[in-house]
Amino acid sequence: MVAVSESSSASLKSQERETHLAHRPWTFIISPAIKHLIAVDFIQIETSKLYFMNILGGIAGAVSRTVVSPLERMKILFQIQGVNAAYNGIGPTLAKMWRDEGVIGFLRGNGTNIVRIVPYSATQFAAYEKYKRLLLEEGKKELDAPRRLTAGALAGITSVACTYPLDIVRTRLSVQSASLSGNEGQKKLPGIASTMRIIYVSEGGIMALYRGLGPTMLGVAPYVALNFHSYEVLRKYFTPVDRTSPPVAQKLLCGALAGSFAQTITYPLDVLRRRMQVTGMKEVNYKYKNTWDALMKLLKDEGIRGLYKGMVPNYLKVAPAISEKKKINNWTI
């Protein structure tokens, strides 16, 4: 799950940064909009360090998303198509995307995903710092593992909730131009603002922009916990006796394996999220009352396998995404 994996990786990376950020001058102030949104106090951190981290973090996020964009869009198409699948197999699907839409077909929805990075990262960072201070025991300087996990999960939930409309727009733009079940996709797509307006006006107001938020929230805590603990187990296993951490290659492997394991367990919730996000679209013609209704209908029509549609491209994008992001994120440590 993309949104959840971001919160988990931020929680893990925060551990590495805490040592560097301790005892720094308190000079940076979170914007009033974010402060009001999640009720944070002033966050104090060295300005130049923060800007450097945020810029490179944003670049890392944009690069990693663009690298795996064809696989991400493929995953979404697999997730939302029903029994009469128009997209089958990795190779044939890539060929169909190229044949029907050209190179832009590999990047549908990626622009929205990149736009989402800035508010998502800002909210997540501010929320994590706030929750960390709230959970910190008196007399201690750092959180223990359970409290750090809790802070990471809460920060993930907060950032997902604040940027969720952009996620639903990304899904819609990824689907609208596709040729599903023999239907011709749209050739000219509306922009981000136009898509939001269409959803708001024609599908039920503000609540329509948060359709599918329930299964997303349900997946945050288990994903963060599974990813964190499996990463720690693997990291210790691959760490040589005379070192405190494994080499870079093994660390990347640990991240990929931990992410894949956590995503496997929580993946059905991601499928349900996507199904809820496209409910009401003429391209797919799903009519779900709620998440439970979506689950029951999906199991009835497609069986257990329907809950794991798109799992293969999801696995394939884990390693390159982590690798590309790690290359750039190393500059921030």
Amino acid letter, 7: S
Highest mean pLDDT among 55-69, 170-184, 187-201: 187-201
**Cα angle for residues 228, 231, 236 (degrees, 5° grid):** 125
Q: State the pLDDT at residue 188.
A: 67
Assign 40 a pLDDT band (cuts: 50, 70, 90): very low
Q: State the pLDDT at residue 304.
A: 94
Q: State the pLDDT at residue 225.
A: 84
Q: State the pLDDT at residue 179.
A: 66
pLDDT at 27 over 50: no
Q: State the pLDDT at residue 325.
A: 54
- Find, among 166, 181, 192, the residue nearest to 277 by Cα: 166
Cβ-based burial of 189 (10 A; exposed 0-12, middle 13-18, buried ≥19): middle
pLDDT at 217 over 50: yes
**pLDDT by residue (tens digit) across 244-291?**
788 878 888 888 888 889 999 999 999 999 999 998 887 777 889 999
Highest mean pLDDT among 242-246, 281-285, 302-306, 316-320: 302-306
Structural domain containing residue 211? 2-332
Return all residues near 134 (Cβ < 8 A) that are at least 6 apart: none
CB contact at 8 A, 141 and 21:
no
Mean pLDDT value across residues 300-304: 93
Q: State the pLDDT at residue 221.
A: 83
Structural domain count, the chain: 1
Task: Give the mean pLDDT of the chain.
Answer: 79
Q: State the pLDDT at residue 127.
A: 87
- Work out the percent of the chain whose per-residue pLDDT is above 90: 28
Q: State the pLDDT at residue 91.
A: 92
CB contact at 8 A, 179 and 96:
yes
pLDDT at 22 over 60: no
Highest mean pLDDT among 79-88, 185-194, 302-311: 302-311
**pLDDT by residue (tens digit) across 133-172?**
899 888 787 888 888 888 888 988 999 999 999 999 999 9
Q: State the pLDDT at residue 324.
A: 52
pLDDT at 46 over 80: no
The Cα–Cα gap between 113 and 40 comes to 25
Q: State the pLDDT at residue 326.
A: 55
Lowest-pLDDT range of 46-50, 113-117, 258-262, 292-296: 46-50
User: CATH no. for residue 149?
Assistant: 1.50.40.10
Conformational region of residue 212, where left means phi above 0, alpha means psi within -120 to 50, and beta covers everything else: left
Q: State the pLDDT at residue 1.
A: 60
